[in-house]
Chain A
Amino acid sequence: MTSPSYLIRSASLLGRDTADILVRDGVIAAVGPALAAEVVGDATVIDASALVALPGMVDLHTHLREPGREDAETVETGTRAAALGGFTSVHAMANSSPVADTAGVVEQVHTLGRESGWVDVRPVGAVTVGLAGEQLAELGAMADSRARVRVFSDDGICVSDPVLMRRALEYVKAFDGVIAQHAQEPRLTEGAQMNEGAVSADLGLAGWPAVAEESIIARDVLLAHHVGSRLHVCHVSTAGSVEIIRWAKERGISVTAEVTPHHLLLTEELVRSYNPVYKVNPPLRSDSDVHALRAALADGTIDIVGTDHAPHPSEAKECEWASAAMGMTGLETALSVVQETMIETGLMDWEGFARVTSTTPAQIGRVADQGRPLAVGEPANIVLVDPAARWTVDPSAMATKGRNSPFAAMELPGRVVATFFHGHPTVLDGKLNTPRKIGSPA
C-alpha cells in the first residue's frame, strides 16, 4: 500500500543547511539539496524555501481531560490543538476522572488517541491510586498494557510521602519507567494562590513560596541518587530549583527537568489584575526566576519544554481569583513562546529548540519513533515553521476547547505551516488537514 508522497522543497533543516525532504510511506525517503526528478516522482511539492524544518514536537506534559472532563477538552480537540502547535506526540497526564491509574484507563486514552489520528498520544500513568498519595497504582500493569506507559506522575498533586516516592522511583526501574514529580510541599502551600513575595504581600493573596518547590526537588534528587533511579521534575519555576538541579547533575544524579512556556515569558506582576487567566500551578514567578529558567534551558540544566496545557471551561476562570481553577492552555502557543523567549533573545538556535522540544522529551518518555533526526529512513515526524511570521494570539480561534490562554492579544513570532505525523500531513498551510488513518504505514 502506498500513501501520497510529499516533497518538502528547500527547507532549512534545523535552521541550517537548505535541503529537500522526500516523505514517502511514513518515513523520510530522501534528503538532499535539489533532489532529482526521478527520485521525487509524483510527490506533492511543498515550497518550504522560507521555512525551518524541525522534528515533530513531543510534549511530556499535556492535560487532555478525557475521560471525565469532556467539557474542558477531549482527546480529539486536544490533539487537534497539538497538531496545530507543531506536535506529533503528547503525553496525556493522569489526572482524568477516573484517574489513569489502571491498565484499563490508560488503554482507553491510548485508543482514543489512535482513533483521533492527529498525534501520538502517550498516556501517563498515575503513581498512586486515585492520586491519593497512599498506595502505588499498578505501575507494572500500565507499563505492560497496550499503552506501554513509561512516564508516571501524580501531576497536580505532589507525591509528598518520602517513602512512597522512594518506592515508586525504585519500582519503575523494572520496566525503565520514570517518575515525573509535581514538586510542591503540601503543608507549605495550603490555600496558596500565587508566588509568595512582594506582589502577594500587596494583593493579600496567600503565598506559594519557592521553598515549597525547592525542598521537594532537593529531597527527590537525593532519593533518586540513593536508589539509582531516574527522576523527572515537572514545570520547574524558580531560580532556586535550577540551582538544585544543576548541583544534582554535576554529581551525576539521573534527573531531568522541564519548564513551561508560560514560566519562560510571564511574571507574577500580571496577577495584579486579579484576572484568573494568570492563575496557574506552580504560579507565575518573578522576573529573576524567568531569567534563571531561560538560562537553565539554554545551558541544559533544564532539559525540555513541557506545555502543561491545562484547558478549563470558561466558568472556571470567570470568577474571583481564589475560586478559579489553576492552569493555562499552551499547545498552540508553545512554539511561538519558546521562539520569543529563547531564539529571538539569542539564547538558543533551532537545533537547540529541536533538542528541548522533541529529541530529549522523546528520550525521557522512551518514545522510540519520535524526536528522531531528519535523516533517511527515520519516521517522517516533521514540523515546518515560518520563523519570520508574526501573529496575534486569539484564544477563540484555537482548536482547544480551553479559552484560558494567558497570551491572548499578545503578538508572537513564528507560525506552524505544516505538521507531518508519520508521513501524513495533519496540518497544511497553517490549517488542520486530515488525521492519519489507523493502519497507515508507521
Chain B
Amino acid sequence: MRHLLSTEQLSSDNAILILDTAEEMSAVGEREIKKLPALRGRTVVNLFFEDSTRTRISFEAAAKRLSADVINFAAKGSSVSKGESLKDTAQTLEAMSADAVVIRHWASGAPARLANSGWIDAAVINAGDGTHAHPTQALLDAFTMRAHWSRLQGISSVGADLKGMRVIIAGDVLHSRVARSNVWLLRTLGAHVTLVAPPTLLPVGVEHWPCEVSYDLDAALEKGVDAVMMLRVQAERMNASFFPSAREYARRWGFDDARLAKLDALNLKDTIIMHPGPMNRGLEISSAAADSPRSTVLAQVRNGVSVRMAALYLLLSGEMRETPAPAATPSSMPSVKDPS
C-alpha cells in the first residue's frame, strides 16, 4: 500500500497495524524529547486546498516528531480557472522531491486523482477530500474507541479490534467525509454502526452501507450504545432547506442536556461522546455534553498526532502490506461490456 486515500479498501490487518503503531507513537508524545529520527531527511508536504488549521497542525506535528522536513503549501483559490491546476501544483512539489504529500481538498476524489494519475511518485495521504473521505480522522476515532473498549474489557488494546462495540454517528451524514470513513473502518474493525440523521441529510443509496440508519436519536440511544459521535453541521446547510431551523435541528438531532441525562437514566455509564471538531456548541452538541467526563474530544485531538505519525511512518518506510488496488478501468469491467 503506497497511499492512504480512504478506509474503504483498508484491510483489517493494515488498520490494526496503523492503530498498533500509533500506540507506540503515542508513547513518544509522553517523553520529554518528543522526537524520533525515523523520517530524517524525508520531505512531507502539507498541500491544503481548503483551510483546516486543526488538521494541518496535527499533520505538521506528526511529521516533525518523526524528524521529517515539513513544507506547508496553502493553495489559493477554489477553482482551477483561477490559479494553478492540481496537476501543475503536484508536479511542482514532485520537482522539489516530496516524499509524501498530505492533501486536503474541497473536491471529492482529488487525492485519488493525485495518486493514480501518474503525475507524481510521492506517497499520498488524504487529509480530507470534499464530502468523500477523511481516513486519518476515522483512524484516530477508532484509536480513541479502541482504547476505551479494550479498557472496559480489561484487555490490551494492542492487536485488538472493535468487535461488539455499538456506535452511533449522528448529524449531517450526506456531506460528511468523517461519517463515510468511519462507516467503512468501523465495519472492518467489527463495530456495529447506526447512522442517525434527518432524512434530508442522508445520501440516496445509504441503504447499501454496512450500517443501520435511523431518523430518531432517542430511539437509537435507547437501544444501547457505547460511543456517540456527533457530526458538525455546516453553516451553509442552514438556508438550503435541509431542515427548518437550527433550533428544530438541535431539538431533534442535537446531543443536548436531556440526552446527556438520558445516558445516565439508561444506565449507560460507560458510553463516550465524540466529536471530530470544531464543535457548534448549542447546535449539534450542548456545552454540558462537550465538557462532560464522557467527552473524548480532546483525546481525539491528541490521538490524531499519534495516528498521523503512524500513517506517515508506515507509508514512507514501506512497512504496510500490499492490498490489491481497486482499479475501475474498462478492461476490468466485463459486467459493463456484457451486462447480460
**Chain A residues with a Cβ under 8 A of chain B:** 193, 196-207, 209, 265-267, 269-275, 287, 290-291, 315, 318-323, 340, 345, 406-410
Contact = CB atoms under 8 A, between A and B. Distances in A.
A270 B208 contact: no
A275 B330 CA distance: 12
B103 to A, nearest CB: 10
Given A207-B204, A409-B329, A320 B180 contact: no
Contact of B330 (A272, A315, A323, A409): A409
A269 B326 CA distance: 12
Contacts of A199: 205
B337 interface: yes
* Most A C-beta atoms less than 10 A away, residue of B85, B330, B336, B338: B330
Contact of B130 (A275, A322, A340, A407): A322
A198 B336 contact: no
Contacts of A320: 80, 86, 105, 107, 109-110, 113
A274 B338 CA distance: 23
B205 A274 contact: no
Contact of A340 (B80, B204, B337): B337
* Most A C-beta atoms less than 10 A away, residue of B80, B86, B180: B80
B336 A323 contact: no
B245 interface: no
Contact of B339 (A196, A272, A290): A290
Contact of B113 (A203, A205, A321, A406): A321
Contact of B205 (A193, A196, A271, A287): A196
15 contacts: A196-B204, A202-B8, A202-B205, A204-B130, A205-B131, A265-B336, A267-B336, A274-B109, A287-B335, A287-B339, A291-B339, A319-B80, A319-B85, A408-B330, A409-B331
A273 B205 contact: no
A238 B34 CA distance: 58
A291 B340 contact: yes
A406 B330 contact: yes
A270 B109 contact: no
A273 B116 contact: yes
Contacts of B87: 318-319
B57 interface: no
B203 interface: yes
A410 B331 contact: yes
A266 B107 contact: no
Nearest to B208: A198
B177 A204 contact: yes
A34 B239 CA distance: 75
A198 to B, nearest CB: 4
Interface residues of B, number: 43
Contacts of A406: 330
Given A196-B204, A287-B339, A319-B113, 18 more contacts: A196-B205, A197-B204, A205-B109, A205-B132, A267-B335, A269-B333, A269-B335, A270-B333, A273-B328, A275-B116, A315-B85, A318-B87, A320-B107, A321-B110, A322-B106, A323-B81, A409-B330, A409-B331
Nearest to B336: A267
B242 interface: no
B328 A270 contact: yes
B161 to A, nearest CB: 23
Nearest to A318: B87
Nearest to A272: B328
A320 B90 CA distance: 12
A197 B205 contact: yes
B132 A204 contact: yes
Given A273-B327, A319-B87, A204 B180 contact: yes
Given A274-B112, A318-B87, A410-B330, A265 B337 contact: yes
B68 interface: no
B336 A266 contact: yes
A198 B85 CA distance: 30
Contacts of A291: 339-340
B79 interface: yes
A192 B11 CA distance: 31
Contact of B108 (A205, A273, A319): A205
Given A207-B203, A290-B339, A318 B116 contact: no
A408 B339 CA distance: 19
A269 B327 CA distance: 11
Contacts of B329: 273, 409
B124 to A, nearest CB: 12
Nearest to B206: A201
A78 B328 CA distance: 29
A345 B80 CA distance: 42
A271 to B, nearest CB: 8
A315 B336 CA distance: 28
